[in-house]
Amino acid sequence: MKELDHIQKALIAFFKKNTNQEGITLREIANNIGASHPQTVLNKLNQLVLKGYFVKDENGYRLIRENITDNLNDIVQLPIYGFAQCGNKWKKILDEYTQEKIPATMAMLGIKDVSRCFFVRAKGNSMEPKIQDGDLVLINQQPNYDVNDYVFVIHNDLPKLKKIINKEGKRYLESVNRFFDNVEVAKYDETKVIGVVKKIIKDM
């Protein structure tokens, strides 16, 4: 695991000193720790959640450890599959293209069984604003999905994050970005749903 940068260390020190964060804004935190922008604070906090230092819940961010060697029983290591390495047959993605692993707390994931979970890195802007370029997307490996789910699907050897819709007897891969047309899944297309999107972690 990479050593924490100075902003991440400053955030840990700030939250250790200020245990009650109710009402404090990202801009105020940025000013206190010398960060250039509130978005920097948000990105760094999300990184610290993934690293296991913080949890995020309905009350915001909460520091749970100052040192990653403490209390590791609630941290799992999940693989990241990069889109650039996923251009072959869908079966090979989960078998052969494992890249780095990233630590994540169970509280952050919000899933009881993570044995079939993995991350993918989003590329492109077809799913904006829901999923943006660079976002880390948690996928639960499963073939079934609901109509409102976003799915990780392999369509003619191309890995995609889409919504699958049915219209007038045809099936389409739908983008969130209205500037992208829906892609019809033709009769002889090779299409496989790998899993369902469970969580989106903004560009990290």
Question: pLDDT tens digit string along 74-116?
Answer: 677 777 776 533 333 444 445 445 557 777 777 667 777 788 8
The dihedral built from the CA positions of residue 3, 7, 13 and 19, taken in this order, carries a sign that is: negative
Tell me the DSSP string of 113-157.
--TTEEEEE--SSTTTTTS-TT-EEEEEE-S---TT--EEEEETT
Question: Is it the case that residue 65 has pLDDT exceeding 90?
Answer: no
Question: Is it the case that residue 186 has pLDDT exceeding 50?
Answer: yes
- Structural domains of the chain, count: 2
β-pairing verdict for 101-105 and 136-141: unpaired
Mean pLDDT of 140-165: 90
Q: For the chain, what is the mean pLDDT?
A: 81
The number of helix segments (H) and strand segments (E) in the chain equals 5, 11
d(CA 164, CA 151): 8
Q: For residue 68, tell me if it sits in a domain.
A: no
Mean pLDDT of 166-183: 91
d(CA 145, CA 82): 22
Cβ neighbours for 5, distance < 8 A, ≥ 6 positions apart: 44
Question: Is it the case that residue 122 has pLDDT exceeding 50?
Answer: yes
Question: Is it the case that residue 196 has pLDDT exceeding 70?
Answer: yes
Helix (H) or strand (E) holding 201: strand 191-201
- Does 59 lie in the same domain as 133? no
Q: For residue 1, tell me if it sits in a domain.
A: no
State the residue for tokens 């060697």: 69
Question: Is it the case that residue 63 has pLDDT exceeding 90?
Answer: no
Cα atoms found within 13 Å of the Cα of residue 14, Cβ hemisphere only: 22
d(CA 154, CA 87): 9
- Record the tokens describing residue 26, joined without a space: 């990202």
| Domain of residue 86, CATH code | 2.10.109.10
Q: For residue 14, tell me if it sits in a domain.
A: yes
Helix (H) or strand (E) holding 74: none
- Where in the sequence is the domain holding 13, given as residue range(s)? 6-63
- Does 138 lie in the same domain as 37? no
User: 54 forms bridges with which residues in the sheet?
Assistant: 63
- Does 96 lie in the same domain as 53? no
Q: Give yes or no for a contact between 147 and 108, defined as CB atoms under 8 angstroms apart.
A: no
Helix (H) or strand (E) holding 59: none
- Does 185 lie in the same domain as 116? yes
Q: Position 11: which residue type?
A: L
d(CA 98, CA 84): 12
